[in-house]
Amino acid sequence: MSVASELKDLFTKNLRTSGIYIAFVLIIALFTVLTDGLLLSPINVTNIVLQYSYVLILALGMIMVIVAGHIDLSVGSLVAFTGAVSAVLVIGNGLPWWVGLLAAVGVGILSGVWHGFWVAIVGIPAFIVTLAGMLLFRGLTYLTLSNVSLSPFPSEYQQVAGGFLNGLLGGYGYDLFTLVIGVFAVAGFAWSQIRSRSGRAKYGQQVEGLALLIAKIAVVGAVVMWFFWQLATSRGMPIVLIILGGLIITYHVVTTRTVFGRHVYAIGGNLSAARLSGVNVKKVNFWIFINMGLLAGIAGAVFSSRSNGAQPGAGNMFELDAIAACFIGGASTTGGVGRVTGAIVGGLVMAVMSNGMQLMGVDQSTQQIVKGLVLLLAVAFDIYNKRRAGAAR
Amino acid sequence: MDSTILQMQDITKTFPGVKALSNVNLSVARGEIHAICGENGAGKSTLMKVLSGVYPHGTYEGKIVYEGEEMKFSSIKDSERHGVVIIHQELALVPHLSVAENIFLGNEQERAGFIEWNHTNAEAAKLMARVGLDEQPVTQVGQLGVGKQQLIEIAKALSKDVKLLILDEPTAALNDDDSAHLLGLLRELRTQGMTCIIISHKLGEIEDIADTTTIIRDGQTVETLDMSDPASDQDRIIRGMVGRDLSQRYPEREPEIGDVVFEVKDWTVRHPTQTDRVIVDNASLEVRAGEIVGIAGLMGAGRTELAMSVFGHSYGRGIRGEVFMDGKKVDTSNVGKAIKAGIAYVSEDRKVYGLNLIEDIRINTTAAGLGKVSTNGFVNGNEEIRIAESYRQSMNIKSPTVMATTGNLSGGNQQKVVLGKWLHTAPELLILDEPTRGIDVGAKFEIYQIINQLADAGKAVLVISSELPELLGICDRIYTLAYGRMTGQLPRSEATQEKLMELMTIEKEAV
C-alpha cells in the first residue's frame, strides 16, 4: 500500500477521532489568517500554554470521569477552594510556598474522597453529588477567604505557573535547554512508535508501512520542534508545560495501557457486564473521583500561582470548559468512549479559539456564543457519524 | 373480498454494501396465521420493516399489494392507518404509564386536546377483556410481567382496528404458560377473521399454530409450506432454513464423568428489596468433572437467581449456604473471588450482562481475565490480540479481525465471544444461562459442540435453559427447580419432557 492510500485509510477509518485533529488544524489556520500571523508568534504560543494549562489539567481528570459515565460539575469550585486554602496558609499565615502547593493538592484529594464516597459507596448519581459539591466548595471558598481576595504570593510560588526554565544550557538568542527538551520529546515519540510497531510485528500482526511510520514521525517531529522553537525564541521553557506534559503522558498511558484504565472504559461501556466480569466497580469509581480531586488541586495551585493570589470567584465555569474539551475531543455523552489525546486537542481547540478571538478584540459575549456553537457542532458531528455507522450495518 | 390479503412481490432491499432482501415474494391468505422462518440475518425482520413502512416506499424495490390495492406506505403511521400493525421483539411500552395510557399512546382518546379519562379506561378495559388480560386499566405497566406486557401490545394493536397483525418473536421472552396463552389468543383472533404474520425461532410453536410457513434464507424466499401437510414438520422447516439436512440437532458425546468439582449446599437467597420473599430455598446441587448438568424450571423458579447469587452474590440479599470447589469450601462473596475460585458465569442476556457492545472482540475477550495478560497493572495489548485471535479461530467467530466491534456481530457470534471471555479465565465450572437464546439453528449446533468440548476437557458445566428439548439433548443429568426449591433430579436416561414438567410444577406445599 502506498503512503497516500494508507493515510487515507487511517483517516477515513477513524473519522470520528481524526475529525478533531483536522478541525484543530483548520481552526489554527483560520485564526492565523484572521490575526495576521499573530496567533503563532513566539510570545503568543507561550501565552496560550500559560493561559489554558489549568483547563487542560482538569480535562485530563474529566475525560476519565466522562468515560466512566459520570460528570463532575464541582471542579471550578474546587480550583477556587484549593487555591484559597493555599493562599490562607502562605499569604495569611506566612508558611513556606511549598506548604501551600502541598495543601492545595492534599485538599483536592480529600475533596475527591468526599465525592467518591457519595458516588461510589452511597450510589448517588455524580451529577447530583458534584452539583452539591459545586455549591459546597464555593461556599467553603468564601468562608476560607472571608469573602476577600488574598495576594500576592511569594515569588517562588509564582514560578509554578509563570516561571521558565531557561538559560540552563546557555542562550544564543534562543534557549538551548528548551530545544533539548523538544528533541527528547520527538525522540521519545519516535521510540514509542517504533517499539509498538516492532512489538506488533513480533506477534505477527499487520503493521503500517515503514514509509508511513517515517512520514508520521517526521510530521510530528517537525510540528513539535517548531513549537519548541517558538518557545525557545520567546521566554524559554514554561515550568507549567513540564507539569502538563508529564501529566498528559501519564494519563495517556493510564487510560490506554493499564488494567485500571481498561476498567474505566468497561464501566462506561456496560456497567452490568463490567460488574459480572469481576471489575470492582465501587473501587474504580472511587479512584476516578479521587483522581479528579487531585487534578483539581493541581489546577488550583497552578491557577492561584498564575493569578498571584486567591479570589472568591476564581475558577468560575472551569468545569464547563473541561467538560466541553472532552466532548469536543470525541467523548461520548453515554460513556465508554473518549481519549486523553482527544480531550487535550478539544481543550486546545477551545484555547486557540478564545485566544484568537481575544487577539482580534472580539468581545466576551461573542466569544461565549462562538464557544457554545462549537461545542454543539462537535457533538452533532459525533452523533451524525454514529448514525452513519449504524445505517451502514 | 379477495381471499389473498397481502402480496409482496419481488421485494429487494439493499443497504450500503449488503443486499438484505433479493426478490422476495410473500403471499398471505385472509384469516390465516402465516409463519416466517429463517436463520438470524436471513432477512425476516427487514421484510417486515418493509411491509410496515419502517423502510418507506422508495427505499426498496418491488410491489406491495394489500387488500387488492398497491400500497406505498410512507411510515408506520401510514401502514397502521390501513390496519397493518407490527409488534416488535423489544416491547415499546412505557413502564411508568398505566395499561390504558399505553394502549392509547399516540392515539389518545381526547376531546379538544383534553384526554377523556373515563372513556380511555372503559375502552381499555374492553380491549383487555378481548386479549384475556385480567388487570386494572390503571395499573402501571412496569409492575406486570413480560407475558402480560405482550398482551398489552396486542390490545394496543386491536385498538387501531388491525387487520393484519405482525408479531416479531412474540414468545422469545415468555415462559411456557404465557406462550401458550398468547398462542391461544392468536387462534381466537383468527376465528374472528384476523390475519397474522408471526416470526419465530420456536419451531414447535410454528408447527402448532401456523397455517402456512414461508422460509427465507439469505434474503431470498426458499419455499412456502402448507402446514396441514403432515410432511411439513420441524425437520422439514429446519432443512429449508439451513439448506441442508441437520439429521441431528444435538451433537453426539460419550461422557467421561469424574469426581465432584462443584457443590452447593443449603443455598438460600432472598429478594434484594422485598427481603421477606425467599427466592431460592435451601437448594443443594453438585456437578462432576466432565459432566453437563442442566437446571430446568419455569420462569420465576429461581434458576438465574441461584446462579447469579452463587457467582459473587450478584443477586439477592441474606444469602446463606456453602459453596465447595474440589471439596474445599470457597468464598464467592464477590465476582472477583468467584472467578478466582474457578467459577465462570455466562449470563442470560449477553447484550445487557455479557458484552461491552461498543468495544471490539479483543477487549471483550480479556475483560474477565485481564490479569492474565498484564504485568504490574499494564496490559500487554499484543498478547491480548493473540489470545482473542486464538479464540476467534477455535470457535469459528465470523468477523474480519478481533478488532471488530461486538455490537455489529450476530447473536451466535456474540455468544461465542462471551464464551471465549469466560474460557480465558480458565474456570473449573462454567455456568451457562440460556446459552442459545435468540441464536439461529446452525450457530446453536456450534455452541453445543463447544459445550461438549469443554466437558470432554474435564470441565464441569451447568446449563440453565427454558427449552426442555435442549436440556434433554445435551445434559447428562437434570435438576428441577420449582418456586425456589430443588424438586428432583433425573439422569439423561430417565428424563423426558413430561417427567421434568411434572417436577417443575410441584407447588410449595406439596414439597
For chain B, the domains span 4-242, 248-342+427-511, 357-424
In this complex, do A265 and B359 lie within 8 Å of one another by their Cβ atoms? yes
Residue in chain B closest to A273 (alpha carbons) equals: B353
- CA of A323 to nearest chain B CA: how many angstroms apart? 22
Contacts of B213 (CB under 8 A, 6+ apart): B34, B35, B36, B37, B206, B224, B225, B227, B232, B237
B91 touches chain A (CB under 8 A): no
Sheet bearing B61-66, strands edge to edge: B18-29, B4-15, B61-66, B69-71
Question: Burial code of B394-427, b = ≥16 C-beta within 10 A, e = fewer?
Answer: ebebebeebebbbbebbbbbbbbbbbbbbbbbeb
Cα gap B94→B108, rounded to integer Å? 14
Cell of B484: 425456589
In this complex, do A391 and B314 lie within 8 Å of one another by their Cβ atoms? no
Residue B290 DSSP class? T
In this complex, do B15 and A280 lie within 8 Å of one another by their Cβ atoms? no
Residue B195 DSSP class? E
Candidates B345, B347, B382; nearest CB to A200: B382
Q: DSSP states of A47-114 as a string?
A: HHHHHHHHHHHHHHHHHHHHHTT-----HHHHHHHHHHHHHIIIIIT---HHHHHHHHHHHHHHHHHH
For residue A202, the chain B residues in CB contact (below 8 A) are: 382
CB contact residues (below 8 A), chain B span 357-396, against chain A: 357-359, 363, 367-368, 370-371, 374, 377-379, 381-383, 385-386
B501 touches chain A (CB under 8 A): no
Contacts of B449 (CB under 8 A, 6+ apart): B251
Chain centre distance of CA B1: 38
- C-beta separation of A300 from A66 below 8 A: no
3-class SS of residue B287: strand
In this complex, do B353 and A273 lie within 8 Å of one another by their Cβ atoms? yes
In this complex, do B378 and A258 lie within 8 Å of one another by their Cβ atoms? yes
CATH 1.10.3470 fits A3-162+240-391, yes or no: yes
- C-beta separation of A68 from A288 below 8 A: yes
Q: What is the pLDDT of residues B264-286, one digit of tens each?
A: 999 999 988 878 888 899 999 99
Half-sphere exposure (CA, 13 Å, Cβ side) for B21? 28
CATH 3.40.50.1820 fits B4-242, yes or no: no
Candidates B314, B379, B385; nearest CB to A257: B379
ipTM given for this complex: 0.84
- C-beta separation of A75 from A303 below 8 A: no
Q: Is A198 left (phi over 0), alpha (psi -120 to 50) or beta?
A: alpha
- CA of B433 to nearest chain A CA: how many angstroms apart? 13
User: For residue A2, what pLDDT band results from cuts at 50, 70 and 90?
Assistant: low
Half-sphere exposure (CA, 13 Å, Cβ side) for A44? 20
Residue in chain B closest to A260 (alpha carbons) equals: B377
In this complex, do B355 and A270 lie within 8 Å of one another by their Cβ atoms? yes
Compute the radius of gyration of chain B from its Cα atoms.
Answer: 24
Q: What is the pLDDT of residues B370-408, one digit of tens each?
A: 999 999 999 998 999 999 999 999 998 888 888 888 988
Mean pLDDT along residues A115-144: 96
Q: How many CB atoms lie within 10 A of CB B143?
A: 10
Cα gap A213→A201, rounded to integer Å? 13
- In this predicted structure, what is the pLDDT of residue A9? 65
For residue A207, give the amino acid letter.
V
State the pairing for strand pair B212-217/B220-226: antiparallel
What are the boundaries of each domain within chain A? 3-162+240-391, 167-234
- C-beta separation of A322 from A122 below 8 A: no
Cα gap B200→B197, rounded to integer Å? 10
- CA of A108 to nearest chain B CA: how many angstroms apart? 25
Give the sign of the dihedral formed by CA B321, CA B327, CA B331, CA B334: negative
CATH 3.40.50.300 fits B248-342+427-511, yes or no: yes
Q: How far apart are the first and last CA of chain B?
A: 58
H-type helices in A203-280, by residue range?
A: 210-233, 239-257, 259-269, 271-276
Give the sign of the dihedral formed by CA B351, CA B354, CA B357, CA B358: positive
In this complex, do A272 and B370 lie within 8 Å of one another by their Cβ atoms? no
For residue B378, the chain A residues in CB contact (below 8 A) are: 257-259
Candidates B357, B368, B386; nearest CB to A203: B386
pLDDT by residue for chain B (511 residues), tens only, comes to 568 899 999 999 887 656 778 899 999 999 999 999 887 667 888 899 899 988 989 889 999 999 989 999 998 889 988 999 998 877 788 888 999 999 998 888 888 888 889 999 999 999 999 898 888 999 998 888 878 888 999 999 899 889 999 998 888 777 778 888 899 999 999 998 899 999 987 788 888 899 999 998 878 888 899 888 888 888 888 778 777 555 567 888 888 999 999 999 999 999 888 788 888 999 999 999 999 999 998 777 889 999 999 999 999 888 999 999 999 999 999 999 999 999 999 998 888 899 999 899 999 999 999 999 999 999 998 999 999 999 999 998 888 888 888 988 888 899 999 999 999 999 999 999 999 887 877 788 899 999 999 999 999 999 999 888 889 999 999 999 988 899 999 999 998 888 888 888 777 654 4
Q: How many CB atoms lie within 10 A of CB B163?
A: 17
Q: Over 90: is that where the pLDDT of A287 sits?
A: yes
Cα gap B293→B463, rounded to integer Å? 6
